Amino acid sequence: MTVFQKSNHGVVELTPAGLAEIKKYPGNVYSDQTQPYAFEQRTWNTYAFASLWVGIIISIPVYMLASGLLSNGMNWWQALFTVVLGHTIVMVPAVLLGHFGTKYGTNFPLLSKFAFGPKGNVFPTLVRGILGCFWFGIQCWIGGTAVNSILSVLIPGFADLSVNVYLSFGLFLILNIIIGLKGSGFIKFIENYLAVVLIALCFIVIFWGSAKANGFFNVFKNPVAQGNGGNFWHAFWPALTSMIAFDSTIALNMSDFTRHAKSQKDQIIGQLVGSPFTTLFIVLVSIFGSVGSQIAFGTAIWEPATLVSKFDNPVVVIIFSLVILMAVLTTNVAGNLIPAGIVFSSLWGKIVKYKYAILAVGLIGVVTRPWAIIKNPDSYYNFINTVATVLGPMTGIYMVMYARTLKQPINLVDLYRKDGGQYYYTNGWNVSGVVVLILTTIFVLIGKFVPSLHAIYDSSYILGVLLSAILYYVISKFQKPIDAEALD
């Protein structure tokens, strides 16, 4: 390819000369976290990526999103259609941005630098990191409720402590951090083995709901599954945005995981198989759980930990609390803790090492007060939809920027430089990208505060992606292509 980089089985690798060239520039972002993975270092196959999405989708937040749609009036097939569609749409950016990680072996902060420049990328990259901290805190609180249920059964008097839920939250947060410090290689190990366990235990929920309803198909005839006959389309758009926004953070930084992929085929097939089908399955689990709780306890319970606590059998409480704990753990570490830690350590790699970045994510997760966000479905959906107003515009720009380079390799030496080169743009800023990001974000966010424009806010992620992509594409037609300069 050139003296500085070569192609190896579809993977673009730095040569020793390329690495030496990067080291010549004092201003570079080459570090242990950003260094590209060579083809021989790749270990993730199709099953690994499918398992990753099984661990992410079979999670308590997705269960809560689906059952929350039922509690807000959708019937079972409307909820099923909305959730599966949302998680399928998000596969478009997940696969495309995952292509970057597979081809170049590096992570999301480098993709962000490529898109916005070494100075312009600080804000969008930091936004992704901070949102990861928010999600991390929320899921630690959910997992903490499972820990609380287990300890309340095993330790007499624990449930009577005034701070029992906060102690449980802290214990689960520490467990997440310990696993996060071991890195993404350990996550692959966890996902591969726990995926099968989670699927098996979810079938138990389906069997339980069927038994309570006196038949599998009777579940769908239950009033909980039939909804309240409200206006589906009125509820559809904000719900669809919530479904997409839930996975949009992990889709944005998919390159953090696909840099381990053996081939593009592995990451593409693994993602396309793992996410949509697993989503369909977890929605069915949430429907059966909601209907079963209505029949057994007189009310449809949308939060799994609360449902588990209703059972008198301590063995049942412990087993299903462990299921909740494992489901949250696999999602939280892979989708929030590690990506946010990589963001912080990549942005300030000279002073913030990976282990300190992981600890910082944990601290910020506590400061966000997740117990206030998660206490009811409305605040939960509001939080997710606000996230979508930021991530949609970012995703559209990343997709257009990277799609324009598919025919010609990125210059890896210049990608790692932050004091000049092809991707330094205007004094370190890709002004067009930054302006489009700000304008598009303001446009979709304003609908939250102007009632007559609320429809824009309800569809913020999709509108944000489309609008930013179109605007940036049009502007880029009048600019010199960033890959026009031949590799030296």
Q: What is the pLDDT of residue 321?
A: 80
The residue that leads in pLDDT, 315 or 183, is 315
Among residues 88, 99, 100, 55, the alpha carbon closest in space to that of 415 is found at 100
Residue range 358-385, pLDDT digits in tens: 999 999 999 888 887 776 656 666 777 7
The residue that leads in pLDDT, 91 or 333, is 91
- Whether 327 is in a domain gets the answer yes
Q: What is the pLDDT of residue 164?
A: 92
Q: What number is the average pLDDT over the span 315-340? A: 79
- Whether 311 is in a domain gets the answer yes
Q: What CA–CA distance (Å, rounded) separates 394 from 470?
A: 13
Please state whether 117 falls in left (phi above 0), alpha (psi between -120 and 50) or beta.
left
Count of CB atoms situated within 10 Å of the CB of 225: 23
Q: What percent of the chain has pLDDT over 70?
A: 91
Q: Is the pLDDT of residue 342 over 90?
A: no
Q: Is the pLDDT of residue 485 over 50?
A: no
Q: Is the pLDDT of residue 239 over 60?
A: yes
Residue 101 maps to which CATH number?
1.10.4160.10
Among residues 186, 442, 482, 468, the alpha carbon closest in space to that of 338 is found at 186
User: pLDDT confidence of 350, banded at 50, 70, 90?
Assistant: low
189-195: long-range contacts at Cβ-Cβ below 8 A with a sequence spacing of 24 or more? 190/55, 190/329, 190/330, 190/333, 191/48, 191/51, 191/52, 191/54, 191/55, 191/330, 191/334, 192/47, 192/48, 192/51, 194/55, 194/326, 194/330, 195/50, 195/51, 195/54, 195/55, 195/58, 195/330
Q: What number is the average pLDDT over the span 69-91? A: 88
- Whether 485 is in a domain gets the answer no
What rounded mean pLDDT belongs to the chain?
85
| Lowest-confidence segment of 44-58, 121-135, 184-198, 467-481 by average pLDDT | 184-198
- Whether 349 is in a domain gets the answer yes
Q: What number is the average pLDDT over the span 133-142? A: 87
- Whether 43 is in a domain gets the answer yes
Q: What CA–CA distance (Å, rounded) separates 109 from 117?
A: 11
Cα dihedral value 264, 267, 269, 275, nearest 10 = -150
Among residues 141, 82, 380, 130, the alpha carbon closest in space to that of 253 is found at 130
- Whether 420 is in a domain gets the answer yes
Q: What percent of the chain has pLDDT over 90?
A: 38
The residue that leads in pLDDT, 324 or 471, is 471
Q: What is the pLDDT of residue 377?
A: 57
Q: What is the pLDDT of residue 186?
A: 59
The tokens describing 27, both together, are 């201003």
Q: Is the pLDDT of residue 484 over 50?
A: no
Q: What number is the average pLDDT over the span 426-446? A: 92
Q: What is the pLDDT of residue 187?
A: 61
Bridge partners, residue 429, by sequence: 426
Most confident of 46-60, 128-142, 176-190, 426-440: 426-440
Q: What is the pLDDT of residue 28?
A: 87
| Lowest-confidence segment of 236-240, 278-282, 383-387 by average pLDDT | 383-387
Q: What CA–CA distance (Å, rounded) separates 278 from 32?
A: 33
The residue that leads in pLDDT, 395 or 454, is 395
Q: What number is the average pLDDT over the span 266-292? A: 90
pTM value is 0.83
Q: Which residue range(s) make up the domain with 309? A: 5-476
Total domain count for the chain? 1
Evaluate whether 261 touches 95 at the Cβ level (below 8 Å): no
Q: What CA–CA distance (Å, rounded) separates 184 from 177?
A: 12
The tokens describing 313, both together, are 């059998």
- Whether 487 is in a domain gets the answer no
Q: What is the pLDDT of residue 442?
A: 92
User: pLDDT confidence of 307, banded at 50, 70, 90?
Assistant: confident
- Whether 211 is in a domain gets the answer yes
